[in-house]
Structures are given as structure tokens and as C-alpha cells.
Copies of this chain bind each other. A is one copy, B any other.
């Protein structure tokens, strides 16, 4: 790693940021794709968190990456921020806040789904399906978005996302406590995760007390934070709970349906799957299976997030060449830095 950093001394430095609903990640890269410094922070999604929290997370992740790379903000040639909703009014407000907070000029917002696509391929056309805190799919042609489905946030969409799974897990627990749904292992798991005094009893009194505790706890959260319960649901499903298993199966079906909306006959792929939810085989496998029934020969790549792709985009927009070797270098050097954090 020391040698790799030496190779890029004197060359241009680029900053790439990938903003998610649960965490925000930043990396400083050299022109050849070598990752020089990595930083992370909390949720930076302006739709779910508001632009002030988003700006704070982006600034914190960026400061960490620059500091670890030993690079000053003024030395950065270009910056790409992969973010949902960067093209809307919230994005314009966020852009102004970031420049005021001292982020390097030459700041470009990129669609988060386009960055996720480029984490998985150097192709300039294909499909990407993302499911982390949120969920959505796009079709890409000539390196631009040619069609999209969902990615509409927790209140209007994100079907099959981490929020969706966590929310449905809480709803299943609430339904049991409220006398409207079947018994499920999710109830005790959700009570425990929310810090509500649990009880193995199911008397009317105990159910009412548990329900009141869940209501109080949930309305103190920002709704999107229910995504943190997705692992609880996946765990219960793996342990054989039928209610949890049904939620997970429906999430996979929702994601496959979202992807199906953007598929067109004259574009075979590749397909990139991105995000913490799709990296779970219990979700990712049925989605890939559904895709292969429509695209038998289509390539599929799975990536963790859009950070490497954001680096690809900032390099390409600056005229640097990004081929498979460079993409592999971004991934390998980024993995080294993340392992160190």
C-alpha cells in the first residue's frame, strides 16, 4: 500500500462519495484508481434525513477520507457525490450547504443508482437493482439513465428494501400483540431490539403493555430507521419463522418486480445487484433466478454499494480512462482501506 501511494504522488486526486440511507462513505482516489483514504459517517439521504443531516454526514465522511489520504480539500481536482434526489430541490439546497461547509468546488451530484451500476461493471449500458435502506432499479444506456422504477423513499415506495423489511417485521409483531395476526418469533425479537420490556406471557395485559412500548419507541425514531430491524427479520426467517419467511419472500418478489419494469428486449445486460439486502442470498438468489428466466445469458455482478462506482464516475467525467483493470484496482485498494478502518 505504501508503494501504491508513492505511484500516484504528484498526479491528480479525486473525491468520490456514496450517500446511503444508513451510512455515507467517501474515498480519495488517484488517477489510476488507487484508493488513498477512506471515511464514513451516518445517514446522508436528504429525502429521509433532511438536507442539514445529509450535509453533516457528507462533510464528516469526506473529512475522514481526506485526512487519511493526507490530501487537502484544495488539492482535489473533482468530486462526485452519488446520492438519491440530487436532481431535485432538496439536492440544490444540499449543494449550496456543502460548498458553504468547505467541500472542494467542482462538485457534481450523480444518481446513486448509476454509481451502484459502475461499482459492478465498466459497461455503459445495462441494469442495476439496489436494495439497502431504500430500493430501486434503473436501465442505463450510453452511461445515462434511460428508465427507472421505484427509489421513491420509504413513504411512497422502496418496496423490498431494508426499511420495507424492517417495517413489515414491526407490523407483524404489532399484529400479534394487537390480536390481529398470528404468533411469530418476530414479536420478542422486535420488542428486544426496540428496548421494550419483553415478556414471554401473552396475557391481554402483557400484550397491551408491549404494544404501548412498541408504539412509544417507534414514533421516537425517524421512520427510515426501521431499516435497522431488517437483520432481525432475516435472522428469524433463517431460523424457520413462517411470518418472517413470508416477509423475506415477498421482499424478493417486490424487488424482482421492480427490476422487471425496467427490462427491455433490446438490452441484455449486464445486471448489477447492489446493497446490503441483495447481498443476502435468501433475497439475491430468487431475484437473479427471476432475471435469468427473462435474460438466460445475462451477466450478473453483486456489489456492496456505489462507492467504487462513484470513483469510476468522477474519473470518467474528468477524462481519465477506466477499464476493467482500473475498476479492479479501485475495489482491491478500497477493500484494503476499509479493512483498516
Residues of A near any B CB (own CB < 8 A)? 47, 85, 87-90, 147-150, 152-153, 155-157, 167, 170-171, 174, 178-180, 204, 208, 211-212, 214-216, 218-219, 223, 257-258, 261
- B residues within 8 A CB of A148? 208
Cβ of B261 and Cβ of A179 under 8 Å apart? yes
Cβ of B89 and Cβ of A153 under 8 Å apart? no
- List 8 A-B pairs, minimum CB-CB distance, nearest first: A179-B261, A156-B174, A88-B216, A47-B219, A89-B216, A152-B215, A149-B178, A155-B223
Query: Chain A interface secondary structure, helix, strand, loop or mixed?
Result: helix
Q: Bound state CA distance, A146 and B310, in angstroms?
A: 57
Cβ of B155 and Cβ of A47 under 8 Å apart? no
- With contacts A179-B261, A216-B90 taken as known, whether A171 is within 8 angstroms of B149 at the C-beta atoms is no
Q: Bound state CA distance, A171 and B153, in angstroms?
A: 12
Cβ of B211 and Cβ of A180 under 8 Å apart? no
> Which of B150, B178, B216 contacts A150, CB < 8 Å?
B178
Q: Bound state CA distance, A152 and B170, in angstroms?
A: 12
Distance (Å) between the CB of A6 and the closest chain B CB?
46
